[in-house]
Copies of this chain bind each other. A is one copy, B any other.
Amino acid sequence: MTTTTSSVHAPAVRRLTAKGEATRARIVEAASALVFAHGVTRTGVEDVQREAGVSASQLYHYFGDKQTLMRAVIAHQTTAVLAAQQPELDALDTFEALERWRDRLVALQRSRHCVGGCPIGSIAAEIADDDPEARADLVAGFEQWEAPLRSGLTTMRERGLLADDADPDRLALALLAALQGGLLLTQTRRTTVPLETALDAVIELIRGYAA
C-alpha cells in the first residue's frame, strides 16, 4: 500500500525530514490498525505510543491531540481503502471491470474472515455525529470513493455501453450504499453473502441499462 498524499488529510503544519515522515507514518499506521480492530473510542493514545514505539512527546510533536491523529487515520484509511480496490476502481468502464471490482471486494472480506467491516464506514458510524471535522473528512473520503464509480459509469454511457437514461450519479451512489450496507451485514453475519448480494443487485440494475 502506498502512503502518498491523499486529498483528505489534516493540514501539514510543518515540513518534516525523511526520518520525521517515517515516524509520523509509523504512528498513523499503528493508530489505523488499532482503530480498525477496536474502534476510535477504545484506541487510547497510550496504545498508539506502545504500538508505534514512540514516546508521548513524540506523538504530541506530530499530532497535538487525539482528534488530529484520528483525522490522519481517516486520511490514511481512505488512501488504503481506495488502493485495495485497484486497478479496477479507477477503470470501472466495462461490465467486466465492474464484476472484477466486485470480486476483489468479496475476496478481500473473505481474506479478513469478514472481520472489521469497512475501515472508513466503521469510523463514520462511530464518530460522524460527534466530531464535525472528522465528519467532513469522512464525507470527503466517501466522495473520493464515489467519484471513480461515477466516472466509470459515465464512460460506459459515453461509449454506448449504457443507455442515455442511465444516471451515473444515482447508480454510483447506489453502488456505494450497497457496498457499505453489504460490508456491515457481512461483518455482522460473518459471511460474504450480504456483500455479494448487495453488489450483485445494483450491478444487475446497471445491466438493465445496457444499450
User: Which of B173, B193, B195, B200 has a CB less than 8 Å from the CB of A193?
Assistant: B173
Oligomeric state, in copies? 2
Specify the chain B residue showing the minimal Cβ separation from A121.
B184
Q: Is the CB of B188 within 8 A of A135?
A: yes
1/0 per position for A109-138, CB-CB distance to B under 8 A?
000000111000110111011100001001
Distance of A138 from chain B, by nearest CB (Å): 5
Interface centre among A126, A176, A177, A188 (most CB of B within 10 A): A177
* CB contact list, A184-211 vs B, under 8 A: 184-185, 187-190, 193-195, 197-198, 200-202, 204-205, 208
Q: Is the CB of B126 within 8 A of A126?
A: yes
Residue positions of A touching B, CB distance < 8 A: 37-39, 41-42, 115-117, 121-122, 124-126, 128-130, 135, 138-139, 142, 170-171, 173-174, 176-185, 187-190, 193-195, 197-198, 200-202, 204-205, 208
Add 5 more A-B contacts to A117-B129, A180-B180 (CB < 8 A). Answer: A41-B41, A177-B185, A202-B202, A205-B205, A208-B208
